[in-house]
Amino acid sequence: MIDAVLSTLGLDDYFPIRNSAEHEEFGKPHPGVYLATMQKLGVDPDACLALEDSLNGVKSAKAAGMKCIAVPEDISDTRFAIADVVLPSLKNIDESVWRKLQ
């Protein structure tokens, strides 16, 4: 699915390394998919940012040591407070969000 979406959007060249939880022993909320991807990229968690829409995804990102922006269906769901930033839409990412993540 990742390959199909990137191809459709013309973004193949921008994502030379791809990974999915389907290739991991455990799915989210286990951090394995994020840890394996960071290893493939050769980067530390402090150089990464996860964009997640599910609670298990947020848990996975935080367990991997990453910053995380949550964009849940229900922004009033207080369980998403473990994310670094909770937004109603990715359209709400602005300078103030970047400052919170530093």
Tens-of-pLDDT digits for all 102 residues of the chain? 899 999 999 999 999 999 988 889 999 999 999 999 999 999 999 999 999 999 999 999 999 999 999 999 999 999 999 999 999 999 999 999 999 999
- The sheet with strand 49-52 has its strands ordered as 49-52, 67-70, 85-86
Give the pLDDT score at 22. Answer: 86
- Threshold 0.95, pTM exceeds: no
Helices 55-63, 32-41: inter-axial angle, 10-degree rounding: 50
Q: Which residue(s) pair with 47 in the sheet? A: none
Delineate the domains of the chain, giving CATH numbers in brackets.
Answer: 2-101 (3.40.50.1000)
**Ramachandran class of 7: left when φ > 0, alpha when ψ lies in -120 to 50, beta otherwise:** alpha
